[in-house]
């Protein structure tokens, strides 16, 4: 006769936004050097592990167009369309690879929250810029300066936004 000992593991209730938010804060601080991160309650609280996976997949895609080397540093610039209040892709892209970002959104409150996140983490200030997208119908027609657009290596657009706006996704290997 064998006895099987059951163990009880503590876990996070992922259906509870406050629990996911607390986990995100801890992960961002411990693994990515983001000391202060918070979002208003009504905004999307993304799961960090899946979002950092997207950043690593993007890095692999960029490497495939760069002799197998992942491009790093502030000269690698991305555009995050629909950055939201969480700024998660710029935060992770900068922490993992030193990339710089331009973030756009139609929501001024979301952009104000991003500014708070960047200000609370001074190491990010030189790598991030934000633009209000005043005309939501034209997601790729922004107020970005031509020289900024010519330096972009990639664009991130949240798929949920595509579904909500009924826009077909376009995946581009390289902007240039």
Which residues does 167 contact at the CB level (< 8 Å), separation at least 6?
139, 161
pLDDT in tens, the chain (176 residues): 455 555 677 888 888 888 889 999 999 999 999 999 999 998 988 889 989 999 999 999 999 999 999 999 999 999 998 899 999 999 999 999 999 999 999 899 999 999 999 999 999 999 999 999 887 777 666 556 555 666 789 989 875 554 554 444 344 444 44
Burial of 145 (0-12, 13-18, 19+ CB in 10 A): exposed
Give every strand in the sheet of 100-105, ordered side by side.
128-132, 100-105, 77-81, 152-157
DSSP structure class, residue 168 = P
| CA separation for the pair 4, 127 (Å, rounded) | 54
How many CB atoms are located within 10 Å of the residue 78 CB?
23
Q: What confidence score (pLDDT) does residue 9 get?
A: 77
The pLDDT score that the predictor gives to residue 148 is: 60
Provide the 3-class DSSP secondary structure of residue 117.
helix
Half-sphere exposure of 62 (CA within 13 A, CB side): 23
């Amino acid at each position: 006769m064998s006895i099987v000992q059951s163990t009880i593991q503590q876990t996070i209730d992922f259906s509870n936004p406050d629990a996911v938010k607390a986990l995100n804060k801890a992960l961002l601080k411990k693994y990515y050097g983001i000391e202060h991160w918070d979002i208003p309650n009504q905004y999307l609280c993304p799961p960090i592990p899946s979002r950092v996976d997207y950043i690593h997949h993007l890095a692999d895609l960029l490497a495939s167009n760069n002799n197998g080397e992942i491009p790093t540093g502030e000269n690698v610039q991305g555009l995050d369309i629909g950055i939201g209040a969480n700024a998660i892709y710029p935060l992770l892209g900068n922490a993992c690879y030193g990339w710089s970002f331009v973030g756009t959104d139609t929501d001024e409150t979301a952009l104000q929250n991003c500014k708070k996140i960047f200000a609370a983490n001074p190491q990010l200030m030189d790598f991030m810029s934000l633009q209000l997208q005043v005309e939501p119908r034209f997601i790729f027609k922004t107020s970005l300066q031509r020289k900024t657009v010519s330096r972009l290596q990639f664009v991130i657009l949240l798929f949920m936004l595509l579904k909500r706006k009924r826009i077909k996704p376009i995946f581009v290997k390289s902007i240039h």
